[in-house]
Amino acid sequence: MPELPEVETSRLSLLPLFTGKRILSVTPLRHDLWRGSLRPAAGPFEGGPLLRHGKTLILSFLPEKGGGGSSCPFFLLSRFGMSGRWERLSLDAPRPPHTHLEIEMEDGGRLAWIDPRRFGRLEATPSPDRSLLLSGTGPDALAIDGKILFDRLRRHAVPLRTALMDQSLLSGIGNIYMAEILFDAGLSPFRSSHSLSRAESLRLEISLKTLLTAAIAAGGSTIHSYRKEDGTPGGYQKHHAVYGREGLPCPRCGLPVQRIAANGRSLYFCTFCQPIRTP
């Protein structure tokens, strides 16, 4: 399931294909994946900045100067869900299965939104501030201020594993990076977020930003279906310390990594390196 590093990897790889390029048309192929009633206006457009908030990638479309197309800019939000991804196709390539939206570029390429499991969502909006998809989401995990993170964690009396994946508290982290961040910070996933000291919260913030940045540099993690826009897998899964490593030696203490099922997902951790009680 794509998390913040995979969505940021998509953003970085789409930038040279989209921003500043002429766009001929935007064609939705399926309508039940959209939030809100607004749909993309008729082109042509100029590709504007690509933004990201948490696991949502935001493509901006600018009116063409002196062109005959739409006169208003709009934003296309894509939330990746379980299996959503953007892929670049050549002009004559057949449309891949599960393509739900196509953007036709003047240079001959197409950008396709592909989502086999269809848990992802799309939205067209005149402003991201008025987005339905982003309403109620917390600050982006990579950009959050340390003091705000501490205040938000202290206000919630839930296990850290739940707090880190609560998109209204902090936006962008899922099951993989939650496990890796808590291991790196030496914090038990079962600790209450309310019980964190300021020093522990700072440790968590450093782990969070260091790991997300390293994962982006490696092109994200590929566990099941995630692929970069050119179809190749990410490389960060080779650096996972605990995720997917049940029974293998913990890279710090050598004891076997533990796995338990929690809320239908696997939770990975080391009981020795992530003690519930602080020494």
The CB-of-235 to Zn ion minimum distance in angstroms stands at 24
Stretch that binds Zn ion, among 21-29, 66-74, 184-192, 248-256 (CB under 5 A): 248-256
Stretch that binds Zn ion, among 93-101, 111-119, 145-153, 269-277 (CB under 5 A): 269-277
185 binds Zn ion (CB under 5 A): no
Convert residues 156-175 into a mask of x (bound to Zn ion by CB under 5 A) and - (unbound).
--------------------
The CB-of-234 to Zn ion minimum distance in angstroms stands at 25
Active site residue 265: yes
| Given 228, 250, 268, 269, the residue binding Zn ion (CB under 5 A) | 250
Three-class SS of the chain: CCCHHHHHHHHHHHHHHHCCCEEEEEEECCCCCECCCCCCCCCCEEEEEEEEECCEEEEEEEECCCCCCCCCCEEEEEECCCCCEEEEECCCCCCCCCEEEEEEECCCCEEEEECCCCCCEEEEECCHHHCCCCCCCCCECCCCCHHHHHHHHHHCCCEHHHHHHCCCCCECCCHHHHHHHHHHHCCCCCCEHHHCCHHHHHHHHHHHHHHHHHHHHCCCCCCCCCCCCCCCCCCHHHHCCCCCCCCCECCCCCCECEEEEECCEEEEECCCCCCCCCC
The CB-of-198 to Zn ion minimum distance in angstroms stands at 25
CB nearer Zn ion, residue 169 or residue 270? 270
Count Cβ atoms below 10 Å from residue 69 Cβ, excluding itself.
Answer: 16
Active site residue 116: no
259 binds Zn ion (CB under 5 A): no
Active site residue 2: yes
CB nearer Zn ion, residue 163 or residue 270? 270
Q: How far apart are CA 165 and CA 204, in angstroms?
A: 14
Q: How far apart are CA 192 and CA 166, in angstroms?
A: 14
Q: CA angle, corner 132, sides to 153 and 220, nearest 5?
A: 60
CB nearer Zn ion, residue 134 or residue 178? 178
273 binds Zn ion (CB under 5 A): yes
Place of tokens 């002429």: 22
The CB-of-207 to Zn ion minimum distance in angstroms stands at 15
CB nearer Zn ion, residue 123 or residue 200? 200
CB nearer Zn ion, residue 23 or residue 250? 250
Q: How far apart are CA 230 and CA 235, in angstroms?
A: 14
272 binds Zn ion (CB under 5 A): yes
Convert residues 83-102 into a mask of x (bound to Zn ion by CB under 5 A) and - (unbound).
--------------------
| Given 35, 154, 239, 252, the residue binding Zn ion (CB under 5 A) | 252
CB nearer Zn ion, residue 160 or residue 273? 273
- Number of residues counted as binding Zn ion (CB under 5 A): 6
Active site residue 123: no
Contacting positions for Zn ion (CB under 5 A): 250, 252-253, 270, 272-273
Q: Which residues are known to be catalytic?
A: 2-3, 55, 265
